[in-house]
Amino acid sequence: MRQYITRRLLLCIPVLLGVSLLVFLVLHFLPVDPVRMLLTEHQTGTAPTVEGAISDAEIEALRKQLGLDQPLYVQFGRYIWNALHGDFGTSWRTKRTVLTMISRNAPYTIELSLSGLIISVFLGVSLGTIAAVKEHTWFDTVSMILAVIGVCAPGFWLGLMLMLVFGLQLGWFPAVGAGTWRHLVLPAVTMGIGGAALVARLTRSSLVEVLRQEYITTARSKGLSERIVVFKHALRNAMIPVITVVGLSLGHMLGGSVIIENVFGRPGLGRIAVDAIWEKDYPIVQTTVLMMAVSYVIANLLVDLVYGMIDPRIRYN
């Protein structure tokens, strides 16, 4: 087990390097000069300056201060070297360290993602299990139709609808902001519904296939109750593909929080990432994308480890 985990972690290193390099190149090849933007907004707020208001000397001085005058391979190498030592740089606009900004906003994103994951797993597995047991009934048909709608519905649209109905019209929950559990309900439900729809469809199809296996027929012939047959024998074996989707959903939710956090006005990694992209704040963009890539890597590793807990036949070589 230890050797397997070590090997998987070593294989993740080129993936993270590739993601960092790709984001680095995309940012530096954008047709916008971040140095000129910084000087422009520093002098006149967000309004554009007149031609010639910024001297070439000021541009070159700031470019040298930010290290943008060096070749790209030197800039990227310096970023990776500093990141390995826990230094992800300083925000060009707020002048605060990137690690400080991420540590303040990451708990909101983790809270939202885990809440959405719990909702998606609970609803998805419950609906999928009942639909499989009641195959070809009205419940099966209705639940799968709702699951298709849930998969197809865009997250931002669903969030706006929930905000309109439960936040503005009924007033049950706050429409925007963060701070209490009531602020978390609508964003978590928005994030969880899409995942629940996918989990429900996969749980149903996997469980229906397992319930047709011969060992299930044998278990029923022994006089075991349907509850024991379904939950003890069938559902456990049907969970392998579901766990794969759930693990990937966790990484997807951490990345997909960008949309939900902006719709509901919540602080979080997605919120600061979008702001940094608009403001061309390279250190924040690079680090937030790297953190989301790490979340995907960890989620995939956890999924592989849970496989062995669910199915003892799986061995790690």
CA distance 248 to 193: 15
- Looking at per-residue pLDDT, the higher value among 163 and 247 belongs to 163
Give the lowest-confidence range in 41-55, 111-125, 248-262, 286-300: 41-55
pTM metric for this prediction: 0.74
Q: What is the pLDDT of residue 107?
A: 85
Mean confidence (pLDDT) of the chain? 78
The more confidently predicted of residues 53 and 203 is 203
pLDDT tens string 41-93: 555 444 444 444 666 676 777 777 777 777 778 888 888 888 888 778 788 77
Question: In percent, how much of the chain has pLDDT > 70?
Answer: 86
Across the range 230-253, mean pLDDT stands at 76
Rounded CA gap, 30 and 194, in Å?
Answer: 33
Q: Residue 48: its pLDDT value, please?
A: 43
CB 290 within 8 A of CB 101: no
Tell me which CATH code domain 100-310 carries: 1.10.3720.10
Where along the chain do its domains lie? 34-87, 100-310
Evaluate if residue 184 carries a pLDDT over 80.
Answer: yes
What pLDDT is recorded for position 46? 43
pLDDT for position 15: 81
Higher-scoring residue by pLDDT: 154, 255: 154
Residues counted in the chain: 317
Q: Given a cut of 80, is residue 4 above it in pLDDT?
A: no
Q: What is the pLDDT of residues 124-175, one digit of tens each?
A: 888 888 888 888 888 888 888 888 887 777 777 888 888 888 878 887 888 7
